[in-house]
Amino acid sequence: MDISLNDQDLSVLLEVIPLPMLVLDTKEDRVVSANVAARRVLVDPLPEGFRFSASIKSDIAEFIVFLDEVIHRGSAWTRKIALTSQNGFPVECEIRAKVIAHDPDAQRAFIGLLILELSELSQHENQFETNRLHREGIVGWKHAEEFFAELELQNQLILNAAGEGIYGVNTQGQATFVNRAAQEMLGWTLEDLVGNVIHDIIHHHHTDGSVHHAHDCPIYKSFRFEQVMRVDDDVFWKKDGKPIQVEYVSTPIYNQKVLAGAVIVFRDVTERKLNEKKLLEAMNEVAELRDRLEQENAYLQLEITKERAHHHVIGRSPSIQQLHAKIDLVAPTSAPVLITGETGTGKSIVANAIHTNSLRKGRPLIRFKSGSVSRTAIEAELFGRSENANGGERPQMISGAIELAHGGTLYIENVCELPLEIQNKLLGVLQDGKFKRIGDTQFKNLDVRVIAASTSNVEREVSAGRFSEELFLALNVFPISCIPLRDRKDDIPDLVTHLLSVACERLNRPEPYVTERTMRMLTEYAWPGNVKELRNVIERAAIVSRGEKLIVELGGASGLRAQSAKTVRTEHEMQLEIRANIVMALKETQGKVSGKTGAAALLGIEPTTLYSRIKKLEIEKREWQVLDGGL
Ligand SMILES: Nc1ncnc2c1ncn2[C@@H]1O[C@H](COP(=O)(O)OP(=O)(O)OP(=O)(O)O)[C@@H](O)[C@H]1O
């Protein structure tokens, strides 16, 4: 079957195609039809029976291979074939070919050839790329715009959420933005600030009232000299005319590497500065008090040392020598000491000697003698108290004697008078080496040496169930007993001389001399109140003696002198003497025990001691009342 094409139809079809196109009859190598664009490239007008091979510049064999490929595959393209234009110029092109009709038996095919000049093709491609870029550019710009809008919104949110005040200024010092915190801290609104020179609004004066010139302003400096400025003590002025203390950082900002102004981040530190000021004042006050306390302490220590300088254990009797030996032995240790002896025999003098000869002498010797009657008061005096009076506020601390003695020595007088509960608590403290204030929750470590004293026979108190046996064992590590003055009369002259010189020094009086007679009288006296009583007598004598001689009055003791002439008295006789002396004293004071005019003062003993003696010796009211009534 032979095929044919309606040339007319083909021409019309080809003409609508803008690119060079022609139809080739392969059998006759004839261009059947070519559109105007193709004719413009090859030959125009197209001669009847124009042979396509005439336009091929390159090897014709290459074109035949290409046609075979087209017929075989139905379509193909190549850039290997160069054409010659009607002017004789070479036309570099891409030829795209497609089989329109094929009759293998007749070895004929009609093939459509599209000729794309490479120069135009690349122009097209460039144009296409440009269009594509243009299209994509617009889309990209839109994306960028959305992105920046989003970013700006987020930045605004961040700026407004920030706790610090933040504002920006341009290079003219005009505010460009102000975040919410800044507006709230300053009271100025966005309308008040943005576009205006912010220095004139919030930063115009110092607190002392002097003008803050813009040329001195660190914020201006930050963008003039392009440096970050940190200021920690400045003021910004609020809309209500009040200043707030601020600390701020001013950082220069750039737009496309060109200085655009500065951003200022600030904090209201008014309250902090106030607290710092208060703290500083409080610390200064504390330092002042500490200095004063140290001075007072130094002064008191000096006074105590001076006072204690007169508190040596005086005497040469064998019992006093023995006492010295014991003190020397026990002082350097930290062992507890239990000192027993009648009142006024020098128990506190011994405690002092032990302390001053120990390694603790640089720390205080605290004397504890509870004057309180109630158990809780005694407990607080000894262990301290931590009170939270105003609930929630810092508790008020009161240090007890035991805490004050930390590192030093605690001397407990009349230890037998401590209530049993407190005795047990004290025992616990000594065993554990820690204590707790009343009302406190925390234990504190304690390093204390305890020296306890008693006028009573402690073993007897233990047997009577009035004193804790365990505490007795804990304290009785090194017992020392103080011998009454009547058993060491040899010491009386030394004591008289010593006590007289101490008294005169204190009274700032010339020291009178003691006649032999007076010394004998003093030596022979029974001294139921021991050295304490002797001291009182000597002090009184130092006051009343106006002349050169010491005039001694032994008060109610005259009645006892006859008895005191006896060389040895029994313990019972001694007790009777003491009893009679107390009754006499009570008679003189009409039963008054304490106070300056009380019987205790007259006897030179503590009221508590006198009370316990009255009880122990079973002295009844009628005894001194009857006597009183008899006069
Ligand atoms: N051996 C001594 N050497 C020097 N002074 C002494 C001596 N013994 C006692 N004294 C003096 O007597 C006074 C009373 O002594 P101290 O207070 O030590 O007695 P005490 O036994 O502790 O009495 P009390 O049991 O009543 O507390 C002291 O102030 C001290 O001046």
Same-domain check for residues 579 and 623:
yes
Q: For residues 451 and 479, give the distance between their C-alpha atoms in angstroms, rounded to a whole number.
A: 10
- Nearest atom within ligand 1 for CA of residue 313: 3
Same-domain check for residues 55 and 81:
yes
Determine contact, residues 150/249, Cβ cutoff 8 Å.
Answer: no
What's the CA-to-centroid distance between 130 and ligand 1, angstroms? 118
Same-domain check for residues 449 and 322:
yes
CATH of the domain at 222: 3.30.450.20
Its sign, for the CA torsion 347, 348, 350, 354, is positive
Residue 263 domain-assigned (yes or no):
yes
User: Is the model more confident about 229 or about 139?
Assistant: 229
Output the residue whose Cα is nearest ligand 1's atom 9.
346
**Closest to 55 measured CA to CA, from 100, 24, 99:** 24
What's the CA-to-centroid distance between 90 and ligand 1, angstroms? 141
What's the CA-to-centroid distance between 345 and ligand 1, angstroms? 5
Same-domain check for residues 348 and 224:
no
Stretch 463-491: mean pLDDT: 93
Q: For residues 252 and 233, give the distance between their C-alpha atoms in angstroms, rounded to a whole number.
A: 20
Same-domain check for residues 455 and 327:
yes
- Partnered with residue 33 across adjacent β-strands are 23
What are 408's two structure tokens? 């030093």
Same-domain check for residues 496 and 451:
no
Residue 398 has pLDDT above 70, yes or no: yes
Same-domain check for residues 52 and 189:
no
Output the residue whose Cα is nearest ligand 1's atom 24.
343
Residue 550 domain-assigned (yes or no):
yes
- Nearest atom within ligand 1 for CA of residue 341: 21
Pocket probe for ligand 1: among 307, 312, 319, 349, the residue whose CB has the most ligand atoms within 8 Å is: 349
What's the CA-to-centroid distance between 543 and ligand 1, angstroms? 20
Residue 19 domain-assigned (yes or no):
yes
Q: Which residues contact 412 (CB under 8 A, 6 or more apart)?
A: 368, 369, 418, 450, 451, 452, 453
Residue 92 domain-assigned (yes or no):
yes
What's the CA-to-centroid distance between 444 and ligand 1, angstroms? 34
Residue 389 has pLDDT above 60, yes or no: no
CA dist 34 to 16, 18, 47, 84, 106, Å? 11, 12, 11, 16, 23
Q: 10 Å Cβ neighbour count for 440? A: 16
Give pLDDT, residue 147: 77
Same-domain check for residues 402 and 532:
no
The backbone torsions φ and ψ at residue 248, rounded to the nearest 5 degrees and listed phi first, read -150, 165
Same-domain check for residues 442 and 330:
yes
What's the CA-to-centroid distance between 588 and ligand 1, angstroms? 25
Helix or strand holding residue 260 (H, E): strand 258-268
What's the CA-to-centroid distance between 469 and ligand 1, angstroms? 27
Determine contact, residues 199/225, Cβ cutoff 8 Å.
Answer: no
Residue 476: give the domain boundaries. 310-481
Counting DSSP H helices and E strands in the chain, the numbers are: 24, 21
Residue 296 domain-assigned (yes or no):
no
Among 447, 481, 515, give the residue marking a domain's end: 481
- Nearest atom within ligand 1 for CA of residue 502: 31
Same-domain check for residues 220 and 336:
no
Give pLDDT, residue 298: 72
Q: Which residues contact 470 (CB under 8 A, 6 or more apart)?
A: 424, 427
Which of 73-82, 267-276, 380-389, 534-543 shows the lowest per-residue confidence on average (mean pLDDT)? 380-389
**Counting Cβ atoms within 10 Å, is residue 550 exposed (0-12), middle (13-18) or buried (19+)?**
buried
Determine contact, residues 49/30, Cβ cutoff 8 Å.
Answer: yes
Determine contact, residues 543/508, Cβ cutoff 8 Å.
Answer: no
What's the CA-to-centroid distance between 23 and ligand 1, angstroms? 147
| Secondary structure (DSSP) of 111-132 | EEEEEEEHHHHHHHHHHHHHHH
Pocket probe for ligand 1: among 342, 348, 489, the residue whose CB has the most ligand atoms within 8 Å is: 348
pLDDT, tens digit (0-9, with 9 covering 90-100), for 225-243: 889 999 998 999 999 999 9
Residue 603 has pLDDT above 70, yes or no: yes
- Nearest atom within ligand 1 for CA of residue 606: 26
Stretch 428-438: mean pLDDT: 92
Beta-carbon-side half-sphere exposure of residue 578 (alpha carbons within 13 Å):
26
Give pLDDT, residue 230: 94
Number of domains in the chain: 4
Alpha helix (H) ranges present in 508-598?
516-524, 530-544, 558-564, 571-588
| b/e 571-590 (16+ beta carbons within 10 angstroms → b) | eeeeeebbbbbbbbbbbbbe
Strand boundaries in 383-466, DSSP class E = 385-387, 396-398, 409-412, 434-435, 444-445, 449-454
What are 160's two structure tokens? 């407004």
Q: N- to C-terminal Cα distance for the chain?
A: 181
pLDDT, tens digit (0-9, with 9 covering 90-100), for 65-108: 999 999 999 999 998 888 888 888 888 889 999 998 899 898 89
pLDDT, tens digit (0-9, with 9 covering 90-100), for 510-521: 999 999 999 999
Residue 147 domain-assigned (yes or no):
no
Same-domain check for residues 467 and 511:
no
CATH of the domain at 556: 1.10.8.60
Residue 124 has pLDDT above 80, yes or no: no
What are 32's two structure tokens? 């059947």
Pocket probe for ligand 1: among 320, 337, 532, the residue whose CB has the most ligand atoms within 8 Å is: 532
CA dist 223 to 135, 194, 201, 254, 265, Å? 42, 18, 19, 10, 14
Judging by DSSP bridges, how do beta strands 337-340 and 449-454 pair with one another?
A: parallel
Which of 37-51, 305-319, 605-619 shows the lowest per-residue confidence on average (mean pLDDT)? 305-319
Among 208, 236, 268, give the residue marking a domain's end: 268
pLDDT, tens digit (0-9, with 9 covering 90-100), for 339-365: 999 989 999 999 999 999 999 998 889
Residue 342 domain-assigned (yes or no):
yes
What's the CA-to-centroid distance between 348 and ligand 1, angstroms? 6
Q: Which residues contact 504 (CB under 8 A, 6 or more apart)?
A: 510, 511, 512, 542
What's the CA-to-centroid distance between 500 and ligand 1, angstroms? 15
Among 444, 465, 481, give the residue marking a domain's end: 481
Q: Which residues contact 52 (CB under 8 A, 6 or more apart)?
A: 22, 24, 29, 30, 31, 113
Same-domain check for residues 245 and 368:
no
Give pLDDT, residue 616: 85
Residue 615 has pLDDT above 90, yes or no: no
Stretch 176-203: mean pLDDT: 93
Output the residue whose Cα is nearest ligand 1's atom 10.
346
Q: For residues 557 and 566, give the distance between their C-alpha atoms in angstroms, rounded to a whole number.
A: 15
Residues with CB under 6 A from ligand 1: 313-315, 341, 343-349, 413, 455, 482, 495, 531-532, 535, 605-606, 609
Residue 493 domain-assigned (yes or no):
yes
